[in-house]
Chain A
């Protein structure tokens, strides 16, 4: 009796200590994450337009959200974001996996190649965006010159004035820049796979494809999921690349949701409406993150078993 009492007393003490220890972290998170979020939420329920100060700052409930849902530009920017995320992340995953498999092999100068692969990732996004813009720009840009002389194009294309063609430099620039990151994550995953599994598979007479299909892929799944989470969430918030590369044009045909939000919030100073857009972006990315984490959590516990 007495012993049990004392133990629960100790447990309580420990629990209290634990709370006290996490309190600073908890308060910090509250201050830097939750407070701005709630503030933005509150702001999004108001008509607050710095360009129209004479309208005041009345509470308008969900009107900003209704306006967003009625705005075709909102839906098209959401569509562009989804398209960009699926295309660029898909390509990055495929190419990144190939790159990781190649880098995982033992060859001379591997360290050097591994470092070199990371160069695009190390270049600031805006710089690489301007680089790609320069290559695609004008009728006498590098890309046009090369493609015309190879006979791929009959005449130069003005990439940035065509709603579909303008996506080509955008996707290419993103794939070029972030594939190394994906490859690095997957390489780490590959190195965690026990070499004896391949040995066993070889002894059983499994072909290279079957080894890849039944040994590499299942064991690489956690690494793939981590790469997917990071990349999808990043792709969903894409801003700087497109801002510097196409500015969302021609018209608004490459405008992602983050650029639309930036325009509303910082160019047009529509604080209420812009906050509503920010909240929508937050909800979408947060749901994606939750979805992924549930997946990933199951994967990780599955791996433990």
Chain B
């Protein structure tokens, strides 16, 4: 008996030793760096636990990463540039997909046949690079106009309406500001500007040509300046504000309007912390003459590291997390909007969301991706600086846009992506 036990133990040892290289016994381990905190993190843990129960052959390990986008980006670049096979799955900001795709750091997803037709076309477009899909939209953020239902009966359709209504609202006691948006020198300023630009029918990039220094661009930037220094409805302090500062102003009942992402909705609905609970709604950002309502796209995408040893297993995780059931759960618990349009007709979703799904859909229909280019972050930095110079009245709007266009075009040309001349046209 003892002898048999010993022999069995020996055999086991040998077997384990023999296959320690390519372990076939244990489950495949997929690593997934994630910075989700609080309720968002809990939803993910639950969903991954369900996934692992259904797929005993795959084990998903979470990695903690920094919350700030810039730091996360730096970390990802260090990993991927070093050719690490780990992490297997990446959570990307919408503006990183072309960069990582062009660098050859993430796998094209076409071979897995994702059901792209079931997603919002604008979110799919933002994740394409050179005719291939590189990341699958997980949830979508859109820039929108928050308005006070106790101060007015309907949201403004145009900037003209907004200015008029904001001025009237400022007469009310306690209303210090007409309108607040993200105007500090960072990525948020670009999303705000993009929405003004779209309102006047302008664009930042047209293929390989920078076209921001246009009539529409100048009108959009002039409108922003006028709202601060002319009409006085936007406080000049917004030029140092990010998302949270604008939320505090609106949540404290100090502002009639706010431009922001969807995340403040559940926070501001909490009447123990918010003075505007039940007194606000959302609408598309106003349109101007010559353009339409515009919403900048944000949100998270999931992609696969090109060096992963288990592409199939990584895809299985992504496929699971982007299924309608998981999206519905995320919407219900943390208010993150699904990237599949048909879910918005689902009565189940309506009961979970504070804002009616039809309103959200309407805003998403105006969604416009930021320029889809591998050098986006550098383009954005140039534009941020020149916009901020104009908004702090160091240069005029026309000069600022012309200079931005020249520098951005030079960058594109140096990267071999430009088709325009480095000199500003018009």
The interface of chain A, by Cβ under 8 A from chain B, is 49-55, 137-139, 158, 160-163, 247-253, 263, 266-269
Q: Looking at the complex, which one of B104, B377, B392 makes contact with A251 (CB distance below 8 Å)?
A: B392
B417 CB to closest chain A CB, in angstroms? 9
Q: In the bound complex, do residue B104 and residue A161 qualify as a contact, i.e. CB atoms below 8 Å apart?
A: no
Q: In the bound complex, do residue B377 and residue A51 qualify as a contact, i.e. CB atoms below 8 Å apart?
A: yes
**Residues of chain B from 65 to 119 with CB closer than 8 A to chain A in the complex:** 70, 74, 77, 81, 99, 102-104
B364 CB to closest chain A CB, in angstroms? 29
Whole-angstrom CA separation of A252 from B391 in the bound complex: 13
B250 CB to closest chain A CB, in angstroms? 15
9-residue interface stretch from B36-44, B163-171, B236-244, B340-348: B236-244
Leading 5 A-B pairs by shortest Cβ distance: A251-B389, A250-B392, A161-B239, A249-B185, A160-B240
Q: Looking at the complex, which one of A50, A251, A267 makes contact with B385 (CB distance below 8 Å)?
A: A251
The yes or no answer to B415 lying at the interface (CB within 8 A) is: yes
Q: Looking at the complex, which one of B74, B388, B414 makes contact with A266 (CB distance below 8 Å)?
A: B74
A residues near B74, Cβ cutoff 8 Å:
266
Whole-angstrom CA separation of A263 from B239 in the bound complex: 20
Q: In the bound complex, do residue A50 and residue B388 qualify as a contact, i.e. CB atoms below 8 Å apart?
A: no
Whole-angstrom CA separation of A150 from B70 in the bound complex: 41
Q: In the bound complex, do residue A55 and residue B394 qualify as a contact, i.e. CB atoms below 8 Å apart?
A: no
A residues near B378, Cβ cutoff 8 Å:
51, 268
**Residues of chain B from 237 to 266 with CB closer than 8 A to chain A in the complex:** 237, 239-240
Closest to A136 in B: B240
**Residues of chain B from 114 to 164 with CB closer than 8 A to chain A in the complex:** none
What are some 10 contacts across the A-B interface (CB < 8 A)?
A51-B374, A53-B104, A54-B102, A54-B416, A158-B237, A161-B240, A249-B185, A250-B388, A251-B394, A252-B385
Closest to A47 in B: B414
B74 CB to closest chain A CB, in angstroms? 6
Q: In the bound complex, do residue B416 and residue A55 qualify as a contact, i.e. CB atoms below 8 Å apart?
A: yes
The yes or no answer to B235 lying at the interface (CB within 8 A) is: yes
Q: In the bound complex, do residue A250 and residue B99 qualify as a contact, i.e. CB atoms below 8 Å apart?
A: no
Closest to A253 in B: B394
B residues near A55, Cβ cutoff 8 Å:
415-416
A53 CB to closest chain B CB, in angstroms? 5
Known contacts A52-B415, A266-B74, A269-B77, A161 near B392 by CB under 8 Å: yes
Closest to A160 in B: B240
Whole-angstrom CA separation of A49 from B377 in the bound complex: 13
B408 CB to closest chain A CB, in angstroms? 13
Q: Looking at the complex, which one of B240, B385, B416 makes contact with A137 (CB distance below 8 Å)?
A: B240
Q: In the bound complex, do residue B77 and residue A138 qualify as a contact, i.e. CB atoms below 8 Å apart?
A: no
A172 CB to closest chain B CB, in angstroms? 17
B221 CB to closest chain A CB, in angstroms? 14
B residues near A50, Cβ cutoff 8 Å:
77, 81, 103
Whole-angstrom CA separation of A106 from B377 in the bound complex: 59
Closest to B103 in A: A53
Q: In the bound complex, do residue B237 and residue A250 qualify as a contact, i.e. CB atoms below 8 Å apart?
A: no
The yes or no answer to B381 lying at the interface (CB within 8 A) is: yes
Whole-angstrom CA separation of A252 from B385 in the bound complex: 7
Whole-angstrom CA separation of A266 from B74 in the bound complex: 7
Closest to A251 in B: B389
B240 CB to closest chain A CB, in angstroms? 5
B residues near A138, Cβ cutoff 8 Å:
237
